[in-house]
Amino acid sequence: MGLIGYYFRRGWKLFRGEVLVLPSRVAVLVFALAVLLLPLFNQDPYLLRILIFTSIFAILAASWDLLSGFTGQMNFGHALFFGVAAYCTAILNIRLDFPPWFSIPLGAFGAVLAGLIIGIPCLRLRGTYLALTTLAFPIILMGVVFAIPDLTGGELGISGVDRLSGSRLNDYYISAVLMLGLGFIMWKITDSKTGIILHAIREDEVAVRASGVNTTLYKLFAFCLSGFFAGIAGGLYAHIMRTAGPSTLEVALSFQIVIWAVFGGIVSIYGPIAGVFILFPLLEFLRILPKIRMLVFAFIVLITLLYMPEGLIPWIRDKIEKECPRCKVRNVATRKTCRICTADLD
Amino acid sequence: MKRGLAVWSVVGVVCLILSAGFSAWAAGEPIKIGVVGPMQFTQGEGHWNGATLAAEEINAKGGVLVGGVKHPIELVKVDSNEFLSIPDATNAMELAISRHKVDYLVGGFRTEAVLVMQDIAMDNQKIFIGCGAAHPKLCGRVKEDYDRYKYWFRVTPINSRFLVKVDFILLGMVAKIMATQLNIPKIKVAIVAEKAVWCDPIVGIAQKNLPKMGMEIVGVWRPSPVATDVTAELSAIQSSGAHIIFTSFSSSVGVTFAKQWGELKVPAAAVGINVEAQKDGFWAATGGKGNYTLTINTYARVKITDATIAFYDKYKKKFKEAPNYTAGTYEAVHVLAEAMQKANSLAPDKLVPVIEKMKRVGTAGLLAFDETHDVIWGPGYVTALGTQWQNGEIKCVWPLNWQSITYEGAVPYIIPPWVVAHYKK
Amino acid sequence: MIQNIIINGLINGSIYALLAIGFSLIFGVARIVNIAHTAFYMLTAYLIYVGFHHLGMSPYVAMPLSVLAVGLLSVICYKIFIQPIREHEAAVLIATIALAMVIQEALLIGFGGHYLGAPPLVSGYVSIAGVKVTYQHLLALAVALLALLAVWALLMKTRLGLALRSTAQDREVANLMGMNEARVAMATMGVSVMLAGIAGAIVVPLFVLDPHMWMHPLIMVLAIVVLGGLGSIKGSFVGAYIIAFAEVLVVFLLPMGAFLKGSVALSIMILVLLIRPEGLFGIYFEEER
């Protein structure tokens, strides 16, 4: 009994010291709670459907950020991972009757394989060359998809994929929990030693190489990891939509991912997630103005970038938090002295 | 006596008041029909316009009479945006059913989207009448799982199997006309089909059947459905010496092809499926170069049934352009209204058997459904048409003395004059 | 067959070259990947259509007017949306994507998804070595070559051209030498988009207009520019013809696979990059510290 109490007190102290102390972390906590507790207030199937898609695309955008934001490998063909995984999952489900919790991870591994295949030629490329080459891959794959319609269903895609779970509510919880879980894992990765190396590769690859780190391995690792998470999103999509078609490989989707991520704020996993959670429901909400929907959307993105070129979340974060000049730890903006080293914050 | 009169007059007045209130109360709740389609594009516009025309006609009579009450029809515009985003289409469908509470749905165009939208409608047991996707799988599902998919019907276009049949009838007709008029012993055919799954069976069947029909295939070209330049293909076709180009286009390549074919005066007749050539805007889009293009069509100003010309003229007057096959929502809405009146009920389960047995004098032919809820094709039913652009106008050139059917207003096919000039030498 | 391939390849290549050179110019000078480049090309085509069909202008008047109008519009857009965020490359990229979307949506609202067409400046065709070529295509070839000569003259023989070239080589030093980098970038934007506009003017009668027509040429232009080497005008020129010939070869040698011409062209680009990561004539930029 006493032991449980001890752990509880420790947990509470940790919670107070780590989470409650910064408004951004509190915001994340509130967000997670809101996502998980929403069905207690409103179970409208349309709303749940929108949020399921938002969660799936949030995983996708975060995985893009892992690759392009952190490692600096601008990937303009992220739809490739998404599409490959969706198709693999659909084929495994239809041809081999694999259930969703089997076909989705296997589909994600298909995406990882794709990541390897495109990662290797991209090793020698930099910057814009890399971006434009990655753009080409989903297009080439689309040509292949149309060329072998017997396997891929051509422009109709593969339909008749099993449902993810018995009910809309279960679907919602599966995608929401996965989104929170995978997002947390991705964030932890970027916060770890591997994450630091990836960040360093982005800033100055030559220096990292000079430090004795095998950057080729890390770059490939980034491709594969990003591909895996994007693949999970693709597999989920296939089971929710119950179809996997060439629309999963479109250039427009790759561009959308980049828009979401940059709008939310790159080089931070929570930025793209927030970006998707703002922009995707916004686009749905704009259905009330059917003709000028996309126009308004594009304008909002354009204007936001003008004032917050680093992304929305970093801008908000800079307003509510300040960095201590001495120990570099973040503090609430209203504080006068740092909470750790008591240096002046002004 | 006086008291009796007073009582009766009171009763009389009460009855009058009640009857007035009754008819006001009896204007029943509106029946909501969702019109689903890509509303920013002509296909969606056709969906909306056709349905609007039908709803206006029905509401002019007060509405649909069910259970002694007349219910007006209320149309709900559902922009599926299916060309650009499949999730958008499914979200729109979901919105229509759960928020707008539509009772029935008509429309749909892109097969990839309709397959998923159909599932959503069936999940909610709403009747969904397809007016645009021709893929056999949609009705095939009715056969596989009747209890789930019985709420699906298709009104237009005809099933792609029959589309192919008509396609080859048209090809045979033109081949015969060219062989006799230009003294060509063996007709050479170039097959040009956009790279899309719906064309694959057509190409396959053509490769098997054309030799049997006495024609020679000189090549098969598969451009992209949105190709912006097919001059390379046209050059190659010309070098191959083809007399006829057998086309299968559903997208913008149809306009590009016709324009460049006409500009280069390629000495071969263009026959087949060219969906863009079914539209009024084709003439302006090709700058008149698409003249003499022959394509399968659903509507033209000929007397397919007594209802056709009236509908055609009314549509053209109101919307300033000729109806395209997606305007078949006109039929779909009327089918629903008729079924409701006949079954005297609004419940989908009661309407399904009524629609199955329905035989309606429609605008594209006699409308009836087979066991897979697909529109029946054949002489006496819906046959589709072959229409050719003749100097700025769409003219029906088939059926003309086909299985003893000729629709009043049909004219003979004209071989493009430069083709005649080329071969008469 | 060979004549077909050669002539078709030359013509398609010229159209691509016109588009690619403008794109390469803005990238080389201002280091901006202008995703909206082909969107401006589409906008010019639509403006010419409007001028011709709705305002009754003669095409000879509508074309230069539209090209100038679009050039001006691009400079204004640059000033308002891109210049303030020049330092954030990712944001600039997204801004150009959003700009392209705005143009697309505006045209979609104005014209719907209908396919439109404009009549050619010159009708008819001529037979060259047994291959029928339309006069409009020949005109396209001629104008493309003229435009390329004009760009070359601009770059080599004028002071503005000198400024453009030096800014492309080293932005900071050019600034030190007294060239107003911001103004140079604006001028480049204008010139580059006007080149795209000229391509739009040529193409209006040849192709079908629809609000999504900017996506495919964008992909091709990106492939060409990468293949030729970013920042190299000569590279874009050569790359355009290589890609065009590759496409024509696919159509002629593999008619069943004519839809694959885009994929084949892109695969060629990837193959070249595997061997030479900076493209054929690319200048390998030092990472700007």
- For tokens 């004795």, name the residue: A212
Of the pLDDT bands very low, low, confident and very high (cuts 50, 70, 90), residue B217 is very high
B406 token code pair:
């000729």
B105 and B133: one domain? yes
Determine contact, residues C231/C282, Cβ cutoff 8 Å.
yes
Whether B25 is covered by a domain: the verdict is no
Cis peptide before B30 (omega within 30 of 0): no
Question: Is there a single domain that holds both residue B282 and residue B407?
Answer: yes
CB-CB contact of B113 with B94 (8 Å): no
Q: How far is A156 from chain B (nearest CA, A)?
A: 5
What amino acid occupies position A135? L
For the record, the structure tokens of B284 come out as: 């302006």
How many separate domains does chain A show? 1
Residues B293 and B317 placed together within one structural domain of the fold: no
Question: A76 lies in a domain?
Answer: yes
Confidence of residue B4 (pLDDT cuts 50, 70, 90): low
- Residue of C11, C208, C216 lying closest to B256 (CB–CB): C208
Q: Please tell me the distance in Å from A64's CA to the nearest CA on chain B.
A: 20
pLDDT value at residue C49: 87
Give every CB contact of residue B147 below 8 A, 6+ residues apart in sequence: none
Closest Cα to residue A88, out of A70, A62, A74, A106? A106
Q: C251, B256: Cβ pair inside 8 Å?
A: no
B12 falls within a domain: no
Give the residue on C whose Cα is nearest the Cα of B219: C255
**Cα Rg for chain B, rounded, in angstroms?**
25
| Chain C residues with beta carbon closer than 8 angstroms to that of B287 | 117-120, 205
Quickly state the pLDDT bin for B21 (edges 50, 70, 90): very low
A134 lies in some domain? yes
Burial class (CB in 10 A: 0-12, 13-18, 19+), B208: exposed
Mean pLDDT value across residues B242-260: 90
**CB-based contact B232 C208, cutoff 8 Å:** no
Residue A24 lies in a domain: no
Specify the long-range contacts of residues C49-52, CB closer than 8 Å, at least 24 apart: C49/C116, C49/C118, C49/C204, C49/C209, C52/C118
Is residue C150 situated within a structural domain? yes
Does B231 reside within a domain? Answer: yes
Chain C hits for A144, Cβ within 8 Å: 263
**A315 belongs to a structural domain:** no
Question: Quick one: pLDDT band at residue B12, thresholds 50, 70, 90?
Answer: low
Average pLDDT over every residue of B411-417: 90
CA distance B377 to chain C (A): 30
Q: Which of C211, C213, C196 is nearest to C106 (CA)?
A: C211
Does this model's pTM top 0.80? My answer is: yes
- Exposure string (b/e) for B92-126, b if CB count within 10 Å is 16 or more? bbbbbbbeeebbbbbbbbbbbbbbbbbbbbbebeb
Decide which of C168 and B102 is more confident.
B102
Tens of pLDDT, residues B153-167: 999 888 878 888 888
Residues 232-271 of A with CB under 8 A from C: 251-252, 255, 258-259, 262-263, 266
Give the domain range for residue C56.
19-211
Per-residue burial over A87-100, b if 16 or more Cβ lie within 10 Å, else e, is bbbbbbbbeeebeb
CB B93 within 8 A of CB B117: yes
3-state SS assignment for residue B403: coil
Distance CA(A342)–CA(B259), nearest Å, equals 77
Q: Mind listing the pLDDT tens digit for each residue in A181-233?
A: 999 999 888 888 888 888 888 888 889 989 988 888 888 888 889 999 999 99
- Give me the sign of the Cα torsion angle B146, B147, B149, B154: positive
Do the domain assignments include residue A261?
A: no
Residue B9 in domain: no
Q: Is residue B259 part of a domain?
A: yes
| B332-359 confidence digits (pLDDT tens) | 999 999 999 999 988 999 999 999 999 9
Q: Judge whether residue A291 has pLDDT over 80.
A: no
Question: Once rounded to an integer, what is the mean pLDDT over residues B304-316?
Answer: 90
Q: What ipTM describes this predicted complex? A: 0.78
Do C98 and A298 make contact, defined as CB atoms within 8 angstroms?
yes
- A58 - beta bridge partners? none
Predicted confidence band at A168 (pLDDT cuts at 50, 70, 90)?
A: confident
Residue B22 has pLDDT above 50, yes or no: no
From CA A295, how far away is CA C98, in angstroms rounded?
9
Tally the domains of chain C.
1
Residues from chain A that touch C262, judged by Cβ atoms under 8 A, are: 139, 143
pLDDT at B13 (0 to 100): 54
Identify the H or E element spanning B192: strand B188-193
H or E stretch at B69: strand B69-71
C242 in a domain, yes or no? no
Q: What is the pLDDT of residue C248?
A: 83
Q: Which residues of B touch C4 (CB under 8 A)?
A: 232, 235-236, 239
Number of residues that make up chain C:
289
The phi, psi pair for B69, rounded to 5°, reads -120, 140
| CA distances in angstroms from A51 to A54, A271, B266, C76, listed in the order given | 5, 17, 54, 38
In the predicted model, what is the mean pLDDT of chain B? 86
Q: Is B227 exposed, middle or buried (0-12, 13-18, 19+ CB in 10 A)?
A: buried
pLDDT at B9: 57
Q: Are residues B262 and B411 in the same domain?
A: yes
Residue range(s) defining the domain that contains residue A62: 45-250+267-293
Contacts of A266 in chain C (CB under 8 A): 90
Chain C, 44 to 83: residues with Cβ < 8 Å from chain A are 80-81
- Residue A268: which pLDDT band, with cuts at 50, 70 and 90? confident
- Asked whether residue B14 is domain-assigned, the answer is no
What is residue A19's predicted lDDT score, i.e. its pLDDT?
78
In a domain, B5, yes or no: no
Which residue of C85, C269, C285 is in closest CB contact with A136? C269
Mean of the per-residue pLDDT values of chain A: 87
Where are the alpha helices (H) located in C130-206, listed in sequence order?
135-157, 159-169, 171-176, 181-203
Residue B180 belongs to domain with CATH number? 3.40.50.2300
Q: Is B417 within 8 Å of B403 (Cβ atoms)?
A: no
Strands B73-79 and B31-37: parallel
* pLDDT tens-digit map of B135-188: 888 888 999 999 999 999 999 888 878 888 888 999 999 999 998 888 888 899
Mean pLDDT of A56-78: 88
- Burial string for A108-129 (b: 16+ CB within 10 Å, else e) reads bbbbbebbeebbebbeebbbbb
Please tell me whether residues B166 and B281 are part of one structural domain.
yes
At residue B245, the 3 state secondary structure works out as strand
Look at residue A288 and tell me if it is in a domain. yes
Check if the beta carbon of residue C12 is closer than 8 Å to that of residue C244: yes
State the smallest CA–CA distance between residue C140 and chain B in angstroms: 13
Where chain C has pLDDT below 70, the residues are: 1, 130, 255, 258, 283-289
Phi and psi at residue B63, in whole multiples of 5°?
125, -165
pLDDT tens profile A294-310 = 888 888 888 888 888 88
Tell me if C226 is assigned to some domain.
no
Whether residues B405 and B288 fall in one domain: yes
Q: How many domains does chain B have?
A: 2
Which tokens go with A301?
A: 């993105």
B135 → chain A, closest CA residue: A156
Among A53, A149, A246, select the one facing B87 at the smallest CB separation.
A53
Task: Give domain status of residue B91, yes or no.
Answer: yes
Residues of chain B with pLDDT > 90, as a percent, come to 31
Q: Which residues neighbour A332 within 8 Å (Cβ) at sequence distance 6 or greater?
A: A21, A22, A23, A320, A321, A322
- Say if residues A38 and A95 touch (Cβ distance below 8 Å): no
Which amino acid type is present at position A110?
G
Domain of residue B35, residue span:
30-157+304-368
Give the residue-averaged pLDDT of B34-50.
89
Report if residue A260 sits inside a domain. no
Q: Is residue A276 part of a domain?
A: yes
Q: CB under 8 Å, gap of 24 or more: what pairs does A17-23 form?
A: A21/A332, A21/A339, A22/A321, A22/A330, A22/A331, A22/A332, A23/A320, A23/A321, A23/A332
Please answer yes or no on whether A298 and C109 come within 8 Å at the CB atom: no
Strand, helix or coil for residue C200: helix
Angstrom distance (rounded) from CA B25 to CA B20: 9
Token duo for residue A52 = 């399921």
Inspect the interface and report whether the beta carbons of A306 and C81 lie closer than 8 Å.
Answer: yes
